[in-house]
Amino acid sequence: MQKKWIAGGLLVLGLLGMCGCSSQAFVSEQQTGTVLTQEETGLEFQDGTYQMEVELLGGSGRASVTSPAKVEIKDGKAVATLEWSSPNYDYMVVDGEKYLPVNTEGNSVFQIPVEAFDQDIVVIADTVAMSTPHEIEYTLNFHAGENGQNAAKAGTTEQEDADGAEKGQQTAAVGENPAKTAAAPLTYDHSMELSYAENFAVDYYEGGYKLLTTRLNGDRILIVPKHQQAPEDAEALVSPSAEGEPGKLIVLQEPVKNLYLVASSVMDMFAQLDSMDAISMCGLKEEDWYIPAAKQAMKDGTLLYAGKYSQPDYELLLSQNCSMAIENSMIYHTPEVMEKLGEFGIPTLVEYSSYEEHPLGRVEWVRFFGALLDQEEKADQLFEKQKEALKRVETEESTGKTVAFFYITSNGLVQVRQSTDYIPKMIELAGGKYVFENLGDPDSRRSTVNLQLEDFYDGAQDADFLVYNTTIDRQVQTLEDLLKKCSLLKDFKAVKNHQVWCTTEDMYQQSMSAGNLIEDFHRMLTGDDKETRYLYRLK
């Protein structure tokens, strides 16, 4: 099996030249190799120095290796020297063999075999950046760049060097490479047209690049196509529709994977996009999920619990090569966690779907994540289904009936929705009227208000419908259970008329079903409750 080693050897030797190391410095517990044939590569290699572009995938996305890499072929074998962007790597494992650094100062430098060109090669690199060492899996891909065979032959053979000197010709110096280390500046193409959402933007650039922006903090995610590189002006990219100063820039390479999903309401979007394989870790345990795909993934071991937003398991995140944490705004209560994630090279995306004023604005965030995952067509289809559900009820006249949406806290207060929240908006779209018309501060981001029982009694006693939120309080299963919690409710009009309803426990996590929930409210209001999915009458 002396075929694959030459490609790896090419790469290593090339890198050796970049770092001023010789091929004799190759440190390994065992030196073996294979010869890579012209038939396998499409290239003809002679002994000499070559230059190949190196693409690194995996980890947090913050680590990098020097590219292009000088590759030297000698006696039908190829070796490459790999220089990392950090001095904290103490060994690498390639094809089961362990390799030690060839330097003692500066960034970690290794000489490793390369199995093949234009193919993904899985390697392990051990980092000592934390208190305890951690092995992280990466993928390397060595390729000739845009110029194909010519780029691979950019180096010169020993004989060519001699011939050139004799003829007085100019030869390329070792280390020069016409291939670009970064893509040229991007050319804007178009932006995603949004129907309801106001808190994100997606912009498309030629060549398959995308820029995703969260408007409230200005943070940006640049999606780089596979085998492509970020442009030189990446940091300067700003959405044409952006307002204010841009936030941080996160660069992710397709395919996006190894995500840590803490914002539980987003899981339904990933599940319906058939993209559960993009998530490796989450912030809820198996028993807390109501999304079947999430429960099954945790049962299968493909989705791991990595701690809640305030206490992530940093070691697990690093061992799983976490590429990005997806959080909701609760993360701002623990800024030290965001800072620590950043120290470990794990960027944080804060999603703001809950800040959308229109219920379908929340659902439209599936298009944001569809762009992240290269699933735009599927995302558009899912969003259209919810728009159609809304259309089925919004053309009908208002019923004029009033609704109170609440639950009773452990200390005896009644928590209701602020009038500007999305639940009152859903009730309105369904043809009803939220019983508390001007409750709360419209300028605040709070969705709920706690009331004394007497204040709730005054405002909701004559409401036509009571809807109890069991996504928070799961102890209420019957009307008797509710009256035990608050006997005063027996005097309410809705109780007397048997119009007390509950939400299903999975309503909150089913973020892709806003249109269906509006339909359920409409059926409740009109007496057509035979097919409700997220509401049921208490008996």
Question: How do residues 321-339 score in pLDDT, each as one tens digit?
Answer: 999 999 999 999 999 999 9
pLDDT value of residue 149 = 43
CATH number of 5-159: 2.60.40.1850
| Residue 255, amino acid | P
What is the pLDDT at residue 144?
66
Cα–Cα distance measured from residue 101 to residue 280, given in angstroms and rounded to the nearest whole number: 30
| pLDDT band at 27; cut points 50, 70, 90 | very low
What 8-state DSSP symbol labels residue 463? Answer: -
Tokens 């970064």: give the residue.
Answer: 182
Alpha helices in 156-258 (DSSP H): 158-166
Is there a contact between 502 and 535 (Cβ–Cβ < 8 Å)?
A: yes
HEC readout, 389-440: HHHHHHCCCCCCCEEEEEEECCCCCEEEECCCCHHHHHHHHCCCEECCCCCC
What pLDDT does 287 receive? 95
| pLDDT of 63 | 76
Q: How confident is the model at residue 525 (pLDDT cuts 50, 70, 90)?
A: very high
Give the strand order in the sheet containing 324-327.
304-305, 279-282, 259-261, 324-327, 348-350
SS (H, E, C) 468-489: ECCCCCCCCCCHHHHHHHCHHH
Beta bridge partners of 450: 415
Average pLDDT for residues 88-114, to the nearest whole number? 88
User: According to the model, what pLDDT value does residue 82 have?
Assistant: 87
Residues 504/536, Cβ–Cβ less than 8 Å: yes
pLDDT digit string (tens) for 185-200?
Answer: 899 999 999 999 999 9
Phi, psi of 364 (to 5 degrees): -65, -15
Residue ranges, comma separated, of all CATH 2.60.40.1850 domains in the chain are 5-159
Q: What is the CATH number of domain 259-351?
A: 3.40.50.1980
3-state SS assignment for residue 282: strand
Q: pLDDT tens, 407-425?
A: 999 888 999 999 989 999 9
pLDDT of 141 higher than 90: no
pTM to 2 decimal places: 0.70
Whether 390 has a pLDDT exceeding 80, the answer reads yes
Q: What is the pLDDT of residue 8?
A: 42
- The reported pLDDT for the residue numbered 428 is 94
Q: Is 80 exceeded by the pLDDT of residue 29?
A: no
Angle between helices 422-429 and 514-526 (to 10 degrees): 50
**Average pLDDT of span 77-88:** 83
What is the reported pLDDT for 26? 39
Task: Compute the average pLDDT of residues 287-295.
Answer: 95
Region of poorest pLDDT, from 56-70, 238-252, 313-327, 474-488: 56-70
24-27 — which CB contacts under 8 Å span 24+ positions? 25/102, 25/111, 26/79, 26/102, 26/111, 27/99, 27/100, 27/101, 27/102, 27/111
* Domain boundaries 402-537, corresponding CATH code: 3.40.50.1980
Residue 153: the pLDDT is 45
Q: pLDDT for 469-502, tens place per residue?
A: 988 877 788 999 999 988 999 999 999 999 999 9
Q: How confident is the model at residue 393 (pLDDT cuts 50, 70, 90)?
A: confident
CATH 3.40.50.1980 maps onto the chain at: 259-351, 402-537
pLDDT at 45: 59
pLDDT band with cut points at 50, 70 and 90 for residue 97:
confident
**What pLDDT is recorded for position 288?**
94
From CA 74, how far away is CA 77, in angstroms rounded? 5
